[in-house]
């Protein structure tokens, strides 16, 4: 399946939240929707889900208007939306029945997923007896128990300790491998890089950057090198005396030397000169911006 959002607009009163955004994703992949608070990520997600309509634009699935009655969607919201005073299994069954499962299917699926997230022993407990992290895992069960074709995760790792975060990561990877279409929204860029093939960064109601993470990173000029090793002081002095004509900027931080060349074309000459001096170094590598760096670059100023 391929889902396409075209020219979505949405305003709440006089506040224009989305200004004609477009994005596309397909089964078996994860799309990261990124943006600062208030950028429109959750609004875009809720339009995909049909929680409210867009003012303009359309959502297509394989070229046709998305029929949400025919395609199951699973949603893990940033704000918890379950009933804290109700027994966990009862409300999971209730939500699964609302999505069209039979009573037997609902109970079987809920128990399967409770066991999968190591919470089977809490099936008859009230939700408010669980820790914040375990409540987040119950939210995940509610999203997954109907075997959705489209899975939407909004800050899914909120409140999780490293062990539970690893469990959730494994589950999400399994769902992607099974061909699920995943929308992933988070401010934790390391998770976005781990899961997502594509990203779309929102700022001021516009998508200011979109595409494959790897391709976006490689689009930056590759003229910055990072050097590490015991001989850093000697390498720094040699660069200043013999290679300054190739260097635009150089800085040192603890165990690493950062060298920005005047052109990426000089990488071979620069590295060959260093290797020829037989310095004791550990690594010479091309610097690539982190996703956090890219995010700040495209969202630091409001549009």
Looking at CATH, the fold of the domain delimited by 2-214 is given as Rossmann fold (3.40.50)
Question: Does residue 196 surpass a pLDDT of 80?
Answer: yes
**In CATH, what number does 221-287 get?**
3.30.2130.10
- Please give the pLDDT value at position 125: 95
- Please give the pLDDT value at position 160: 86
- Please give the pLDDT value at position 155: 87
Q: Which residue carries 């860029």 as its tokens? A: 189
Alpha-carbon gap, residue 59 to 34, rounded angstroms: 19
Closest CA to 46 of 75, 22, 83: 75
Alpha-carbon gap, residue 239 to 244, rounded angstroms: 6
Question: Band of the pLDDT at 281, cuts 50, 70, 90?
Answer: confident
- Please give the pLDDT value at position 278: 87
Question: Does residue 198 surpass a pLDDT of 80?
Answer: yes
Strand partners, 24: 4
Question: Band of the pLDDT at 12, cuts 50, 70, 90?
Answer: very high
| Ranges in the chain annotated CATH 3.40.50.300 | 2-214
Secondary structure (3-state) at 65: strand
Across residues 205-214, what is the average pLDDT?
Answer: 94
Q: Which percentage of the chain shows pLDDT scores above 90?
A: 79
- Please give the pLDDT value at position 6: 96
| Ranges in the chain annotated CATH 3.30.2130.10 | 221-287
Beta strand pairing call for 181-185 and 30-35 = parallel
- Please give the pLDDT value at position 303: 66
Is there a contact between 48 and 71 (Cβ–Cβ < 8 Å)?
no
Instruction: Give the list of residues 6+ apart from residue 194 with CB closer than 8 angstroms, or none.
Output: 169
Across residues 200-224, what is the average pLDDT?
Answer: 93
Question: Band of the pLDDT at 31, cuts 50, 70, 90?
Answer: very high
- Tell me: the pLDDT tens digits for 55-93? 999 999 999 999 998 999 999 988 778 899 999 999 999
Q: Which residue carries 């992933």 as its tokens? A: 184
Strand partners, 201: 34, 209
Q: Give 268's Cβ-side CA count (13 Å radius).
A: 1
Closest CA to 61 of 104, 105, 9, 24: 24
- Tell me: the pLDDT tens digits for 134-153? 999 999 999 999 999 999 99
Token readout for 138 is: 């119950």
Closest CA to 151 of 74, 80, 51: 74
């Amino acid at each position: 399946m391929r889902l396409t959002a075209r020219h979505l607009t949405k305003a709440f009163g006089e506040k224009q939240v989305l200004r004609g955004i477009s994005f596309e994703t397909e089964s078996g992949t994860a799309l990261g929707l990124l943006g600062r608070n208030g950028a429109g990520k959750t609004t875009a997600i809720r339009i995909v889900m049909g929680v409210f309509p867009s003012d303009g634009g359309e959502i297509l699935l394989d070229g046709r208007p998305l029929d949400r009655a025919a395609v199951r969607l699973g949603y893990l919201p940033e704000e918890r939306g379950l009933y804290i005073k109700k027994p966990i299994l009862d409300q999971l069954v209730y939500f699964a029945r609302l999505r069209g499962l039979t009573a037997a299917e609902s109970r079987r699926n809920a128990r399967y997923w409770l066991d999968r997230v190591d919470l089977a022993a809490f099936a008859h407990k009230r939700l408010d007896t669980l820790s914040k992290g375990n409540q987040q895992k119950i939210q995940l069960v509610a999203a997954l128990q109907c075997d959705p074709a489209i899975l939407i995760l909004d800050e899914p790792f909120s409140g999780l300790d490293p062990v539970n975060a690893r469990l959730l990561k494994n589950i999400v990877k399994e769902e992607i491998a099974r061909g699920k279409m995943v929308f992933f929204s988070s401010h934790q860029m390391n998770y976005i890089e781990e899961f997502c093939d594509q990203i779309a960064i929102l700022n001021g109601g516009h998508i200011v950057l979109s595409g494959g993470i790897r391709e976006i990173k490689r689009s930056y000029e590759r003229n910055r090198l990072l050097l590490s090793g015991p001989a850093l002081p000697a390498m720094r002095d040699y660069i200043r005396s013999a290679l300054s004509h190739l260097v635009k900027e150089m800085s040192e931080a603890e165990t690493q030397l950062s060298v920005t060349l005047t052109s990426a074309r000089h990488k071979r000459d620069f590295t060959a000169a260093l290797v020829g001096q037989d310095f004791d170094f550990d690594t010479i590598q091309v610097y690539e911006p982190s996703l956090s760096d890219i995010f700040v670059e495209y969202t630091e100023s409001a549009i």
